[in-house]
Amino acid sequence: MMNSATPTAELGLRRAQVRLSLILLTVMAATMLAVGVLSRSRWLEARLVALEVDRFRRNIEHCMNRGLYLEFEDRLLLREIPRADYSQGGVFFLGTSALKWALQTWEITPDQRPYVADYGIGASDHRQQLQFIRFLAEQRGFLQAGARTHLVLGAYWTMGMRADPESFFGPLWERYGLYSYDPDRGIQSAGGPRWLAWLREERARTASFLAGLANRTARLAATSAGLRLTPTERIDAAKARERARRQRIEGWQEPLAEQMAALESQIRYVRRHQAQVTVVLVPTRAAYRDQPLPRVYRQEVTRLCQRLAVPLVDLSELLREDEFWDMNHSNYAGIRKTHTVLMAMASEHLRQVGLWPKRWSRYAAR
């Protein structure tokens, strides 16, 4: 009896294991499908962005402006650049975080987006920005439209120092295996067959989406508990002056000279491709303006633009002290000001090249 029952029991166990495996595979497939759908959902993105903008407006937390991704730069690398068509030209804003968070890109309409783009990358210097432009031009056809393309280079005093390539810029490019980065050779696409590139992109988008959800949850929990997300957010003018006084930077002269040379190389590189270029000195807190490096940086950028006959727009004193979120970035009131000025610059160029229809009259240059 025992011998005859054992095969039956084993068969039942195997069937149960098969059923369980099929259930698990079905759940995994359904989960992956759901994540894939959600990571592409414009409906979900619109609601998350609206929530974050509202919290920014109410002075609860700074808006990271990241769409469905972990951070702003993920959205740039995983969606904006791969989908871009540079053949018609447009206006592209480049710089560090003080520039990337100077535009309300959530207000740029779908028919404007092909021609107006925020390509800011945080924690970067002028040398790294030059590498970024070269990558876009040489591997993506960024400057192919010549004079129909206008680059607005945001200049902020922290770009006068050497940014450690291992702190953010380098890991950003290598994060998902889509690119490689070398401090001397710059940025390279990972290469490989198209199916492998597609697989990497899908994996990257999904990973960034899930990480973004986790990060949003953590930020919501922290702010609900009354915790600050960054040390200097909502800092007043008096505390900003004290912090700037303690933050004195030594030995900045040599790095500044290197970064000014890199900024000049950026300008000359863009002009060799017949594209147009403007430099914008982005808003700076009063606490920094009389510090040695920020003061000399502003002077050197001004001299360079005069020497090369490059248009310079100085917005360094545009904002009041109560229009900054922290030591380097504007709050909701401040970004409304910078966005209006920068979009007026964009509209002027796009009208000249026939890419700005009359219905886009909101940001008419004044």
Which segment of 1-5, 18-22, 108-112, 290-294 scores lowest on mean pLDDT?
A: 1-5
- The class that CATH gives domain 88-190+233-352 is alpha beta
Do 344 and 364 touch, CB atoms closer than 8 A?
yes
Q: Does 365 have pLDDT greater than 70? A: no
pLDDT digits (tens, 9 = 90+) for 252-264: 999 999 999 999 9
This prediction's pTM: 0.90
Q: Measured between alpha carbons, how far is 277 from 345 in angstroms, rounded to an integer?
A: 12
Mean pLDDT, range 322-341, rounded to an integer: 97
Q: Does 47 have pLDDT greater than 70? A: yes
Q: Measured between alpha carbons, how far is 57 from 128 in angstroms, rounded to an integer?
A: 32
Domain boundaries, the chain: 1-38, 88-190+233-352
pLDDT confidence of residue 217:
95
278 compared with 36, residue with greater pLDDT: 278
* Side-chain half-sphere CA neighbours of 338 within 13 A: 32
User: Where are any strands of DSSP class E within the chain?
Assistant: 90-94, 116-118, 149-155, 179-182, 186-189, 276-281, 312-314
Q: How confident is the model at residue 89 (pLDDT cuts 50, 70, 90)?
A: very high
pLDDT confidence of residue 363:
56
Q: How confident is the model at residue 20 (pLDDT cuts 50, 70, 90)?
A: confident
pLDDT digits (tens, 9 = 90+) for 141-166: 999 999 999 999 999 999 999 999 99
CA–chain centroid gap for 191, Å, is 23
Pull the structure tokens for residue 182.
Answer: 């070398």
Mean pLDDT, range 30-38, rounded to an integer: 68
28 compared with 323, residue with greater pLDDT: 323
